[in-house]
Amino acid sequence: MSVKSNPVLVTGATGYVGGRLIPALLDEGYRVRAMGRSTAKLSCRPWARHPKIELAEGDVLKQDSLHAAAAGCKVAFYLVHSMISEKGKFAEADRRAAHNMVEAANSAGLTRMVYLGGLAEAKDGILSKHLQSRIEVADILQAGPVPTTDLRAPMILGSGSASFEILRYLVERLPAMLTPRWVRSLNQPIAIRDVVAYLMGCLEKDETIGATFDIGGPDTLTYQDLLEIYAEEAGLPKRLIVPVPVLTPTLSAYWIRFISPVPTSIGLPLTEGLTSDAVCTENRIKDIIPLKLLSCREAIRLALDRVEQEQIETCWLDAGELIEPEWAHCGDAEWAGGTILDVGYRLRINASADDVWRPISKIGGKNGWYFMNPLWRLRGFLDRLVGGVGLKRGRRHPTELMVGDALDFWRVLKVEPPRRLLLLAEMKAPGGALLDFQIRPGGDSQVELQLLSRFLPKGLLGILYWYAMYPLHAWLFSGLLKSIAGSIGKPAETAPQRFTSETDPTCLLE
């Protein structure tokens, strides 16, 4: 019987790997039952509307809900790890969850399970507690009556992976760094798309049933090598890296928390794991599921490529299409994808949406930017001095805009008359930027005009640039909204109000 005739259960559906595995399964025609602790969180994912998806609210620590989720399935992916557990009892939680899964799988009559475990070899007889727990989970699952495949993975490369995000913040925010000795530990990182491909391959290859495989990428290198490759691919100056013997994993985790938004509770187990080598000791999986594996450099390049691909991926831009696994996805942790800084202003105008859209659709080119045009021209002049496009491109048509049009030093990403214009910056800057105009109903014959600027800084210089320019941008954007209102003969009665995507996330929902 084909595994496509019954739903495939994916536990940990809202996790990093699960969130990328599910759309890949759906794209290949599988029916999927996505299990998470909150159906509300599941239902906000773009794939939640797919005709072959079932959403199941369940918790691996609650047997009844797990039994209900497994009923009617023949195959299950077990993608759950208790990296964060109350009072640090993650090993106990992992152990209990694994036993619950064994019982539920047997009761539901599953024919196989696939578990994504961890790859590491003890150094000096020491292995981190979290890696020990992952090995124990694999042992529990494989000791049960349902055959379980254990894929042992090293560091996973892709935007949204906690280990990758730590790498990102270290390189982008620290031109020089004192590092622990574990930066010399060996690793064989694997791209997230290759992890997903191996997981899916286990559904069709009977040779994988019940076996244990090491999965890794084509490169074996040190963490220091990864830091240097990231800096090169991000276009950053070479980082000064000085290993010292006094930084313990705990101190490293607190330092990571200081320079990044990644919580210590996540940083600690990851840094503890880096003290061990993570290199494949066997390669049988390559013969069973042949793949053209991405190199570390290719995986990092893809993860950093979303601005060039006209995608700063966040929930409000994710329209549900199958996007690259290496890019940040809707539902990833808030610290995934790098730090996106933003500032916005909104203004209520006594006019129709069509009235307000008219000047927005004409913005730029010979029409100018309605407010402080000399400053816009100065920015264009400075951009050309450093090799940018400046304002010389103008616009294709004085009153019409299409997706892909050049607009001075911007590119049109979305145009939806009379409600939205989304622009991607193409001027020279230490980061990627979006400028988002939206017109929303305001009630009482009013509309609300919103202008939000988002910036993905490139390195420490990008962060300094954002905050140095912040007062100017705030003044400029506020003035721009008032000038647009004045251009249609509806001068603003009140000053524009400031907002951010954090204070009002609904302002960006499609």
* Least confident window among 166-175, 176-185, 305-314, 342-351: 305-314
Contact 162, 333 (CB under 8 A): yes
Contact 136, 95 (CB under 8 A): yes
The pLDDT of residue 468 is: 92
Question: Average pLDDT of the chain?
Answer: 84
Q: What is the pLDDT of residues 98-156, one digit of tens each?
A: 999 999 999 999 999 999 998 877 555 567 777 888 899 999 999 999 999 999 999 99
Burial class of 265 by CB neighbour count within 10 A (0 to 12, 13 to 18, 19+): middle
- In the predicted structure, residue 258 carries a pLDDT above the cut 90: no
Band of residue 87 on the pLDDT scale cut at 50, 70, 90: very low
User: What's the pTM?
Assistant: 0.72
CA distance 345 to 347: 7
Band of residue 457 on the pLDDT scale cut at 50, 70, 90: confident
Q: What is the pLDDT of residues 303-356, one digit of tens each?
A: 887 544 444 433 333 333 445 555 555 555 555 566 778 889 999 999 999 999
Which alpha helices (H) appear in 364-510, and where do they start and end? 373-385, 459-487
CA distance 324 to 340: 19
Q: What is the pLDDT of residues 460-504, one digit of tens each?
A: 888 889 999 999 999 999 999 999 999 999 887 788 999 876 555
* Least confident window among 5-9, 12-16, 67-71, 271-275: 271-275
Neighbour count for residue 77 (Cβ, 10 Å):
27
Q: What is the pLDDT of residues 48-70, one digit of tens each?
A: 889 999 999 999 999 999 999 99
The pLDDT of residue 392 is: 79
Band of residue 505 on the pLDDT scale cut at 50, 70, 90: very low
Q: What is the pLDDT of residues 406-454, one digit of tens each?
A: 899 898 888 999 999 999 888 888 888 889 999 998 777 789 999 999 8
Angle between helix 264-273 and 249-259 (nearest 10):
130
Higher-scoring residue by pLDDT: 80, 266: 80
Q: Apex CA 41: angle with CA 38 and CA 43, to 5°? A: 105
Burial class of 188 by CB neighbour count within 10 A (0 to 12, 13 to 18, 19+): buried
Q: Give me 253's structure tokens.
A: 């985790």
DSSP string, 94-109: HHHHHHHHHHHHHHHT
For the chain, which domains are there?
A: 3-303 (3.40.50.720), 341-508 (3.30.530.20)
DSSP string, 375-404: HHHHHHHHHHHTT--TTTT-BSSSS---TT
The pLDDT of residue 56 is: 93
